[in-house]
Amino acid sequence: MSQTNILLESGTNELELVEFYIDEEDNYRGHYGVNVSKVVEIIRTQPITVMPNMRHESVLGAFQYRNGRIVPLIDLAKYLKKPSAENKEPKIIVTEFNNVLTAFLVSGVNRIHRLSWEQVEPPGAFIQNMSNAITGVVKLEGRTAFVLDMEKIVGDMDEGLSISYSHPENLQSENVYTILHADDSQSVRGLVKHLMEESKVFSVVQATNGSEAWDYLLGLKKRSVAEGMPITSYLQGVITDIEMPSVDGLTLCRWIKEDHVLKALPVALFSSLVTNTLLHKGESVGADAQFSKPELSQLSQRMVELIKELK
C-alpha cells in the first residue's frame, strides 16, 4: 500500500489521516493516526539489521530501502510502552518529514480518512499524562484515535534530529520584535520561546493552535482600528506550525493574507511538512517564508529580514 496522493486544496483546514492500530495484550486494540503527507509507503516487514550502540530500546534496527537508503525501524508499541500482542503480519509505515526517512512498526493499518482539523481535538491533561507524544484526539467511525507527534518520537530516538539552534552571527537589531508563534506541541513551544527570546531580538507570544492564534490576531486588529495605528505597531510577525487541531497553519496563513489589516504581517511556516514537494502549499496561501522544523536559526534570521523589509 503506497501513499494515495489525494489532492487537498491548501488553506481549507482539511487533512488526510492514515489510521493504524497496535494490538495489545488482553485483546485491546489502540487506534492512532498520522498525517498522510508524512507517509511515503506502507509495506510488509523487512529483514532487519541490528545497529550498534542504539540509543533507545524502541529502535529495532534498520533495513535497506529504495536506492540503497538505510532506514531505522522504531517499534511504536515499545515507544508508547504498550504490551503488544504477537502479530504474524505486522506492517511498517515508512515516513518522511524534516527531510529524514524513518519507519514505524505497527500491528496493522486500516485506511485513510479525510477530515477537517476542526474534528481533531487537543489532548486533555489526562491524555497528555498518558503520553506527551499525543497531539490530538479524533473520532473515526466511532473509534477514538490518537494523533501522534512523530517529530518528538524521532527526536527522542536521536537528539541530532530534534530542533536545534545556534544564534546567527549577524542577528542584530536595535528593536525587540514581538512575534506570535502557534504550535500544538508543548515541547516545541517551550524551545522556540526560550531560544528566540534568548537572542534578545524577539519577544514571543504563543498559541496552541490556529484558532487561538486567530482570536489573538482579531483582538489586535480591533485595537489597531480603534487606535488608528498599523497592526505592525503591536505585532511584527507570525510563525506557525502547519499541523494543529481546530485550525491548521495553512488556513491561518490564508486568513491573515486575505485580511486587509493583518496581511501586513509577515508569516513564516515552521513545520516538518515543509519539504521541496510541499512548498507549493505554503506558497498558495501567501506564506512569506517556509522552514522545516530543525532550521530554527535560519527562521530567526529570515524573520528579522522580513520585518525590516516592511519598514
pLDDT in tens, 102-133: 999 999 999 999 999 999 998 888 887 778 88
Pick from 159, 190, 220: which residue ends a domain? 159
Tell me if 33 sits within 8 A of 19, measured CB to CB. Answer: yes
221: CB partners within 8 A, 6+ apart = 231, 259, 261, 262
Tell me if 191 sits within 8 A of 248, measured CB to CB. Answer: no
Residue span of the structural domain in which 23 resides: 14-159
Please compute the mean of the pLDDT values over residues 284-305 and round it to a whole number.
83
Phi, psi for 222 (deg, rounded to 5): -60, -40
Q: Please tell me the predicted confidence (pLDDT) of residue 9.
A: 64
Asked if 95 and 133 sit in the same domain, the reply is yes
Q: Please tell me the predicted confidence (pLDDT) of residue 8.
A: 56
Asked if 191 and 238 sit in the same domain, the reply is yes
Q: Please tell me the predicted confidence (pLDDT) of residue 4.
A: 40
Please compute the mean of the pLDDT values over residues 162-179 and round it to a whole number.
70
Q: Please tell me the predicted confidence (pLDDT) of residue 3.
A: 42
| pLDDT at 211 exceeding the cut of 90 | yes
Asked if 90 and 149 sit in the same domain, the reply is yes
| pLDDT at 100 exceeding the cut of 90 | no
Does any domain span residue 1? no
* % of the chain with per-residue pLDDT over 90: 52
- In whole angstroms, what is the distance from residue 255 CA to residue 39 CA? 28
Asked if 96 and 218 sit in the same domain, the reply is no
- In whole angstroms, what is the distance from residue 107 CA to residue 85 CA? 9
Asked if 167 and 270 sit in the same domain, the reply is yes
Please compute the mean of the pLDDT values over residues 218-233 and round it to a whole number.
96
Q: Please tell me the predicted confidence (pLDDT) of residue 110.
A: 94
Which CATH number fits the domain that encloses residue 181? 3.40.50.2300
Q: Please tell me the predicted confidence (pLDDT) of residue 183.
A: 93
Confidence band, pLDDT 50/70/90 cuts, at residue 166: low
Please compute the mean of the pLDDT values over residues 217-246 and round it to a whole number.
95
Asked if 89 and 183 sit in the same domain, the reply is no
Asked if 83 and 27 sit in the same domain, the reply is yes
Does any domain span residue 238? yes
Burial of 141 (0-12, 13-18, 19+ CB in 10 A): exposed
Which CATH number fits the domain that encloses residue 74? 2.40.50.180
| pLDDT at 155 exceeding the cut of 70 | yes
Tally Cβ neighbours within 10 Å of residue 34: 22
Does any domain span residue 271? yes
Please compute the mean of the pLDDT values over residues 87-112 and round it to a whole number.
91
Does any domain span residue 2? no
Asked if 22 and 137 sit in the same domain, the reply is yes
Asked if 206 and 270 sit in the same domain, the reply is yes
Q: What is the pLDDT of residues 250-292, one digit of tens each?
A: 999 999 999 999 999 999 999 887 777 668 888 999 999 998 8
Does any domain span residue 9? no
Q: Please tell me the predicted confidence (pLDDT) of residue 6.
A: 41
Asked if 128 and 213 sit in the same domain, the reply is no
Pick from 159, 188, 218: which residue ends a domain? 159
Average pLDDT, the chain: 87
Asked if 174 and 148 sit in the same domain, the reply is no
Does any domain span residue 73? yes
Confidence band, pLDDT 50/70/90 cuts, at residue 185: confident
Of 28-42, 175-189, 287-301, the poorest mean pLDDT is in 287-301
Q: Please tell me the predicted confidence (pLDDT) of residue 165.
A: 53
Q: Please tell me the predicted confidence (pLDDT) of residue 50.
A: 86
Asked if 69 and 185 sit in the same domain, the reply is no
Does any domain span residue 177? yes
Confidence band, pLDDT 50/70/90 cuts, at residue 1: very low
Which residue has cell 536595535? 174
Does any domain span residue 7? no
Q: Please tell me the predicted confidence (pLDDT) of residue 196.
A: 87
- Give me the number of domains the chain comprises: 2
Pick from 105, 139, 159: which residue ends a domain? 159
Please compute the mean of the pLDDT values over residues 72-85 and round it to a whole number.
92
Q: Please tell me the predicted confidence (pLDDT) of residue 159.
A: 59
- At residue 92, the 3 state secondary structure works out as strand
Q: What is the pLDDT of residues 13-47, one digit of tens each?
A: 988 999 999 999 888 999 999 999 899 999 999 99
